Structure 1
Amino acid sequence: MTADRAELGRRVAYFRGVSRPRMTQQQLADRAGVALGTVRKIERGERAASGRMLETLADALGIDVPRLLGDATASCAVRDALPAISDAIAVYDIPTDGPVRPLSRLTSDVQQCTAARLAAQYKRIAHTAPDLLPELSRALHQADDADAERVAALLVSAYRSAGAAAYKYSAQDLSARLVELMRWAAARCGDPLIAAAVAYVRTEIFFAARAHRAGLAALETAIDRSPAPATPPTAAARGALHMRAAVIAARAGDATAARTHLGEAERLAGQAPEGLYGGTAFGPDSVRVHQVAVAVSLGGDHVGEALAMARAWKPPADMPAERRSGFYIELARAQLWAGRPGDAFESLTAARRIAPLHTREHPWVRHDVATLRRLRRSAAPALSAFAEWCHAI
C-alpha cells in the first residue's frame, strides 16, 4: 500500500462521512456506479484509482477532483477542455481529415452527450466533444442528400451540449460561437422544431449580456415563426419558447409580459405531457419550475409566490437534474430574501445533491452562500465547507 493510496482512501472516507446526508459505502458505490468492493478497497488504500475513477468518485461525492486529492491548485477538467472545443469548431466548414464512424455510432454518442447535458455532467461532455464535433463536421461534409439533414440535426445537438458546458463555466464567447453554429447547422435541417430549439438556447447570449429586452424580442419573433401547436411536439416547441420568454421578461422587469408568456406556456403544457422534446424538457412540471423562476426574477412582493409554490409542489425525481437543481437554487434565493437562511441553505444543499457541477458553477450560489456566511458570523462547519466547495471564499 502506497502513501498516495492511503491518503486518497482517507479523503474518500472523509468526504463520504461529511456529506449531507451522510453516505454509506454502499450509497457511494451506487451513486458512482461502481462495485461496493471497489469503494471498500479504495478507502482501505488497497486499490489505486485511475483518472476516470477519480472523476466518478468526485462527482458522486459532490466535489471536484482537486479537492478529493487535496490539491487546490490542480486544473478543472471542463475548463481545460474548452480550448480543445474551440479548436474543434474553428474548422466547422472545412473539416480536417479523419475517420467517420457509421451514423448509428454517431447518433449514440450525441445522445449520450445530450443525456450528460440534462444531467449536468459537464465533464463527460468535455471528454467527448473535442473529438466528436470534428467527426460530425466530416460526416456532414461527406453525407449524401439522404443523410445530410440527419447529420446536421446531430451537429445541432452536439453543439448544444458543448455550448452548455461552456456557458456553465462562464466561457461566454465560446458559448455564443457554439450557438451561432447551432443556427448554421439548423439551417441545413429544414426542420422548424429544430429552429425553435435553437432560438430557445440562443437566449443564453441575451442572459449573459443582460440584454433582457432584446432577448424577449428575439423570443417573441421565434414564437411567431414556430409551427402551429397541433401536436405534442409542436405544442412543446412553442411552449418552451413561452417559458423562456416569461423568465427573460421577468428579468427585464416586465411583469405583464412575464405573466402573459407564462400563461401561454401553461396552456400549451395541457397539450404536451411532461417529457423531452428536441432535447428540451417541457410539460406541466417544467412550467411549474418556471413559475418559481419568474416570481424570483420579478422579486419584491412576488417572492411570496415562489415560496407558496414550493410549499405545494416539488420537482419529481425523474425531471432532468439540471432543471431540478435550478428549482432549488431559485427557491434558495427566495428563502434568503424572505429571511429564512436555514431553509435557503437546505435548498442549496438539495441542489448540490441533485447536480453538483451545475450548483457549484452557478453564480447565484456563490453569491447567496457568501451572504449566508455574512448573516451567520459563526458559520456552521457545513456552511463553511459548502462555501469552500463552491469557491464562495
Structure 2
Amino acid sequence: MDDTSIGVRIRRFRGKALTQRQLADQAGVSVDLVRKLEQGGRQTASIASLQKIARALDVDISDLIGKRHGIPSGNPDEGIVAIRRALTSVDDLLGELPEEQAVSLDEGGRSVDYAWGAYWAGRYELLTTILPSGLTQLRATVHAARNGSVAPANELLARMYWVTGCTLVHLGQTDPAFLAIRQALGAAEHGNDPLLLATIRGSVAWQLLVQGRYDESRKVALRAASNLEPSGDESQAHLSAYGSLVLQGATAAGRAQDVPEALSLLETAGEVALRIGVDRQDYETYFGPSQVVMQTVDVNVSSERYPEALAAAKEMPMNIGLPQSSRARHLADTAVAWARTGQYQRALDALLNAERVGGKDWMKYQTLPRHVVSELLDHDRRVPLRAFARRIGVND
C-alpha cells in the first residue's frame, strides 16, 4: 500500500491517541471499515463515512483524502498564497487604496465571465494566475464606484469572490474558500439582484456540504429556496435558481443518509426542471433535467444505493446540458456505481470518458477517480488500466 493512501493517512492521524475501535466508535462507523482502510483491503469509502472519520480525527477531509494542493509558480503574484493575500487585504486598515487600478464595469464583466468560463472547463491552475489581480482590480472598482455604478460594481466583485471560493474548494483549500464565499455574499448584499444573492447562498450551502456540515447545508439551501418559492408566472431564471437550491438541499440530505428526504426534494426539483423544460445556465449555476439526473446519481452513490444510481444514470438526456467539469464528475460517480456492482470494465470505460471530457487539468485535482482506479486494480491489472492508473498518479 503506498504512502498516499487514505489508510496510511488514517493510521498516521490516529497515531497512539486512538485505537481502531475507539476511532470507529467516535466516528460512528464499523471497526471493520477502519481496519480494511488501514490494511489496504479497501481504498475508499462513502463520502459520508470519510467525513465522519475526518471529524473524529479532528482533521479536514482534504487532509484525509490528500486533496489539498498548492500551485508552485515563479510569479509571487500568482498561486494559492497570492489568492489568500488578495482575500485578506488590510488596505482599509492602513488607509490605503487597493494596489490595482479600478477597471470599467464592462472590463470587469469580461474578467468575471472569463474566470467562470475557466472554472467550468476545470482549468484551476489558470484560475490561480488570474484571480489575485482580478479580485484586487474589482475591489478598486467598488472603492471608486459612485451613484448608479455602486450596485453593479459590487455584483461583479461578488461573482469574482464566488468563483474564487469555488476554485479553492477544488484545490482542497476549504478555509480560504469559505472566506471567499462569505465575502461574495457580503458584496452581493450591496447589489440589487435577489437571484444573485440567493444563488450565492446556495454556494455557501455547497461549501458546507464539502465540509461535512450536512444539516447546516440543507437548512441554508432550503431557507434560500423558500424565499424564491414560485407563486405565479415566474421567469425561467427565477425557476432555475429555485430548483437549483432545492437540488442542493437534496444533495445535503443524501450525504446525511436521509434518503427519504433526499428523494422527496429530488422529486420537487424534477418537477421544476420539467416546468422549465430545458437545461439552463443562470447566475453561474446550471439547472434543468440533466442536473437533476446528475444529482440523483450522486445521492444514490453517496448512500451506497448503486443499482438505483445506475438506473438513474440511464435517464440522462441525450443532449446533456452540463459543463465539462460536471459531465466528468457525473461519469466518475457512475464509475463508482459500476465498480461497486462488479462491472469493472464499464467502470474503467466511464473513467476514461471522464478523463476525455474533463481534460487533464480537471482530472489532476480529482480524488474520486484515483480511488476507483485503486479498487479496480484489485480485480484487473491489464495494460489499459495500469496505463490509466500511472497517468493519474495511482501506484499499481
TM-score band by shorter chain is 0.7 to 0.9
Structure 1 position 244 matched with structure 2 position 242: no
Shift in CA distance, 340/92, structure 1 to aligned 2, threshold 3 Å: farther
Once the two structures are TM-superposed, the CA of residue 312 in structure 1 deviates from its matched residue by 4.7
Counterpart of 1:185, as a letter, is A
1:346 equivalent to 2:349? Answer yes
Alignment of 1:3-42 (within 5 A): none
CA contact (8 A) 1:84 1:130 kept: yes
SS in 2 for 1:228: coil
Letter of the structure 1 residue corresponding to residue 112 of structure 2: V
Q: Secondary structure of the equivalent of 2:281?
A: strand
| Distance of aligned partners of 1:267 and 1:312 in 2 relative to their CA distance in 1, 3 Å threshold | closer
* 1:295–1:303 Cα contact (<8 Å) kept: yes
Matches within 5 A, 1:194-209: 194-209=196-211
Q: Report the TM-score, using the length of structure 2 for normalisation.
A: 0.75
2:214 corresponds to which residue?
A: 212
Q: Distance in 2 between matches of 1:346 and 1:326?
A: 14
Match of 1:105 in 2: 107
CA apart distance, 1:76: 5.0
Per the alignment, residue 159 of structure 2 pairs with 157
| 1:231 corresponds to | 235
1:234–1:317 distance in 2 versus 1, CA, 3 Å: closer
Do the aligned partners of residues 114 and 202 (structure 1) sit closer, same or farther apart at CA in structure 2, a change above 3 Å counting? Answer: same
Question: Which deviates the most, 78-87 or 214-223?
Answer: 78-87
What 5-or-longer segments of structure 2 have no aligned partner? 1-69
What CA distance in whole angstroms lies between the structure 2 residues aligned with 1:76 and 1:340? 39
User: How far did 1:208 drift?
Assistant: 2.6
Is 1:292 the counterpart of 2:294 in the alignment? no
**CA offsets per residue over residues 81-121 of structure 1, 9 Å max, x none?**
11111111212773524322222111111111111111112
Q: What secondary structure is seen at the aligned counterpart in 2 of 1:281?
A: strand
Q: Which whole-Å CA distance do the structure 2 matches of 1:348 and 1:103 have between them?
A: 41
* Separation of aligned partners in 2, 1:163 and 1:122: 12
Shift of 1:324: 0.7
Aligned to 2:387: 385
* Equivalent pairs, count: 316
Aligned sequence identity (%) = 22
The answer to whether structure 1 residue 85 and structure 2 residue 89 are counterparts is: no
Q: Give 2:265's aligned amino acid.
A: H
Please say if residues 140 and 152 of structure 1, whose CA atoms lie closer than 8 Å, have aligned partners that are also in contact.
yes
Distance in 1 separating the partners of 2:237 and 2:156: 18
Alignment-derived partner of residue 305 in structure 1: 308
Cα distance in 1 for partners of 2:156, 2:336 equals 36
**Cross-structure match for 1:35:** none
Distance 1:114 1:369, change over 3 A: same
Aligned equivalents of 2:268, 2:90: Cα separation in 1: 37
1:43-97 Cα shifts (integer Å, max 9, x gaps): xxxxxxxxxxxxxxxxxxxxxxxxxxxxxxx965699711111111212773524
* Contact 1:285-1:315 within 8 A present in 2 as well: no
User: Match of 1:375?
Assistant: 379
Deviation, 1:250, is 0.7
Q: Which residue of 1 aligns with 2:146?
A: 144
Quick one: structure 1 residues 218 and 312, their matched pair in 2 at CA, closer, same or farther if it must change by over 3 Å? closer
Pairing 1:362–2:379 present: no
Q: Retained in 2: the 8 A contact 1:352–1:360? A: no
Aligned counterpart, 2:322: 319
Equivalent residue, structure 2, for 1:276:
281
Shift in alpha-carbon separation, 1:390–1:315, aligned structure 2, 3 A: farther
Partner of 1:44: none
Aligned counterparts, 1:186-197, within 5 A: 186-197=188-199
What whole-Å deviation, never above 9, does each CA across 1:278-301 have from its counterpart, x for those lacking one? 1101111211111211221221xx
CA 1:75–1:213: 2 relative to 1, 3 Å: closer
Q: Which structure: greater helix fraction? A: 1
Question: Over aligned residue pairs, what C-alpha RMSD do you find?
Answer: 2.3
The CA deviation at 1:174 is 1.4
Relative to structure 1, the CA distance from residue 146 to residue 202 in structure 2 (aligned partners, 3 Å threshold; closer, same or farther) is same
**Among residues 168, 178, 192, which one is paired with 1:176 in the alignment?**
178
Q: Which amino acid aligns with 1:161?
A: V
Contact 1:125/1:161 (<8 A) preserved:
no
SS in 2 for 1:355: helix
Task: Give the conservation status (yes or no) of the 8 Å contact 1:100–1:139.
Answer: yes
CA contact (8 A) 2:100 2:133 kept: no
What amino acid sits opposite 2:132 in the alignment? P
Q: Is the 8 A contact 1:329 1:359 kept in 2?
A: no
Relative to structure 2, which stretch is displaced further, 236-245 or 100-109?
A: 100-109
> Structure 2: how far apart are the matches of 1:162 and 1:216?
22
1:362, 1:274 → 2: CA distance?
25
Matched, 1:258 2:262: yes
2:332·2:350 contact (CA, 8 Å) conserved in 1?
Answer: yes
- Normalised by the length of structure 1, the TM-score is 0.75
